[in-house]
């Protein structure tokens, strides 16, 4: 199952409890609609509110309840940015990068967040307290720059306001409740590493080449051609198969 590499072991037991607790509500949600599949989004919202993210177990449970293939639920969930398909921090910090915010200082606010948190867009701090995502217009353009913290609005951001907010969150005294966490933070966890690839066919952005075209493979090949006139050795298929087979039989190296 996609994304199941993390957390399944220590979640197996708690999820059974979550499922038992939420099942009656799921049944009620399904009954609201003429067709059961309509309850897909509400059910995923429900599981995320309980677990802090949409876990593979939740997707499987949703698929079973709606009599859909897991792949269909997975595909649908992946369309919507508010369903977190990796564990996220206790506080999901989402400053707005919409037009009205950008022309009124949002870049400074976002730079301040990145500096204070030590993480960038779509990343989570190693202690698992904060996840950070710069989001599209939040429809609060009259009180900018604005943001959401666990989907609660915060308006008129200033560096002082951000510092005070982060301090209160770390102390556990912030006005917005932290989100539940069932998965344990790990060193490499992110909101969604794959989401760093932009939608569509964009490549991975290259930190050494800000603003450049993401896919550098063409340039890399050009460089190799400059230093080595024969970077690619093309062998006839038969020759390659014989050589690879011999290597395999001799137990030295497998086929490349």
Partner 1 sequence: MMQLEKVLTAGIGEYNLRDIDVYRAHGGYAQFERALKEMQPDAILEITMKSGLRGRGGAGFPTGRKWSFLPKNGRPRYLVCNCDEAEPGTFKDHELLEQTPHQIIEGILIGSYAIGSRHAFMYIRGEFKRGYEIFMAAVEQARSAGYIGENLLGTGYSLELTVHRGAGAYICGEETALLNSLEGRRGEPRLKPPFPAIKGLYGEPTVVNNVETLGYLPHILRRGPEWFASVGTEKSPGYKIVSVSGHVRKPGNYEIPLGITMRQIIDDVAGGLREGRTFKGIQPGGGSSACLFDEHLDLGYDYESLAGAGSMLGSGAIVVFDDTTDFVKAAHSLVRFFAHESCGQCTPCREGGSWLEMTLERILHGRGVASDVDMLVSVSHQMTGINLCPLGDSIEPFLASVVKRYPEQFYAYVREPKPAVAV
What's the closest the beta carbon of residue 175 comes to partner 1, in angstroms?
13
Rounded to the nearest whole angstrom, what is the least distance from the CB of residue 228 to partner 1 in the complex? 27
**Does 17 participate in binding partner 1 (rule CB under 8 A)?**
no
In whole angstroms, what is the distance from residue 156 CA to residue 94 CA?
14
Closest CA to 142 of 99, 100, 95, 105: 100
When asked if residue 109 is in the footprint of partner 1 (CB under 8 A), the reply is: no
Angstrom distance (rounded) from CA 39 to CA 26: 8
* Closest by Cα among 81, 91, 88, 84 to 154: 91
Toward partner 1, which CB reaches closer, 64 or 184?
64
Nearer to partner 1, 129 or 154 (CB): 154
**Which of 170/223 has CB closer to partner 1?**
223
55 touching partner 1, by CB under 8 A: no
- Would you say 169 and 91 are in contact if contact means Cβ atoms under 8 Å apart? yes
| Cα–Cα distance, 101 to 103 (Å, whole number) | 6
Among the candidate windows 13-21, 27-35, 109-117, 221-229, which touches partner 1 by CB under 8 A? 27-35
Q: Is 81 in the site for partner 1 (CB under 8 A)?
A: yes
**Among 108, 136, 194, 220, which residue interacts with partner 1 (rule: CB under 8 A)?**
136
SS3 at position 206: coil
Q: Which of 153, 178, 185, 196 binds partner 1 (CB under 8 A)?
A: 153
Q: Which stretch binds partner 1 (CB under 8 A): 33-41, 158-166, 227-235, 238-246?
A: 33-41
Output the CA–CA distances (angstroms, integers) from residue 213 to 46, 103, 210, 216, in the order listed: 39, 25, 9, 7
By beta-carbon proximity to partner 1, the closer residue of 210 and 251 is 210
H/E element, 91: strand 91-95
- Of 15, 47, 83, 130, the one binding partner 1 (CB under 8 A) is 83
Question: Which helix (H) or strand (E) element contains residue 92?
Answer: strand 91-95
Residue nearer to partner 1 on the CB measure, 12 or 151:
151
- Smallest CA-to-CA distance from 80 within 135, 22, 33, 21 is with 135
Instruction: Give, as ranges, the residues between 188 and 227 that touch partner 1 (CB under 8 A).
Output: 198-202, 210-214
- Residue closer to partner 1, measured from CB, 187 or 199: 199
């Amino acid at each position: 199952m996609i994304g199941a590499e993390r957390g399944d072991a220590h979640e197996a037991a708690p999820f059974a409890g979550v499922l038992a607790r939420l099942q009656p509500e799921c049944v009620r949600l399904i009954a609201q609609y003429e067709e059961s599949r309509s309850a897909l989004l509400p059910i995923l919202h429900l599981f995320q509110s309980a677990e802090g993210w949409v876990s593979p177990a939740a997707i499987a449970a949703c698929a079973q309840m709606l009599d859909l293939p897991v792949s269909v639920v997975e595909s649908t969930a992946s369309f919507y940015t508010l369903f977190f398909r990796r564990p996220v921090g206790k506080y999901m910090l989402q400053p707005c990068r919409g037009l009205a915010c950008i022309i009124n200082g949002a870049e400074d606010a976002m730079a301040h967040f990145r500096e204070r948190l030590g993480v960038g867009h779509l990343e989570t701090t190693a202690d698992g307290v904060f996840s950070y995502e710069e989001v599209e217009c939040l429809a609060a353009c009259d009180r900018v720059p604005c943001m959401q913290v666990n989907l609660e609005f915060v308006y008129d951001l200033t560096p002082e306001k951000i510092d005070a907010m982060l301090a209160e969150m770390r102390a556990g005294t912030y006005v917005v409740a932290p989100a539940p966490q069932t998965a344990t933070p790990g060193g490499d966890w992110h909101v969604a590493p794959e989401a760093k690839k932009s939608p569509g066919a964009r490549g991975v952005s290259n930190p050494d080449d800000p603003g450049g075209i993401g896919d550098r493979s063409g340039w890399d090949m050009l460089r190799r051609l400059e230093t080595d006139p024969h970077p690619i050795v093309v062998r006839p298929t038969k020759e390659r198969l014989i050589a690879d087979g011999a290597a395999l039989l001799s137990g030295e190296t497998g086929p490349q």
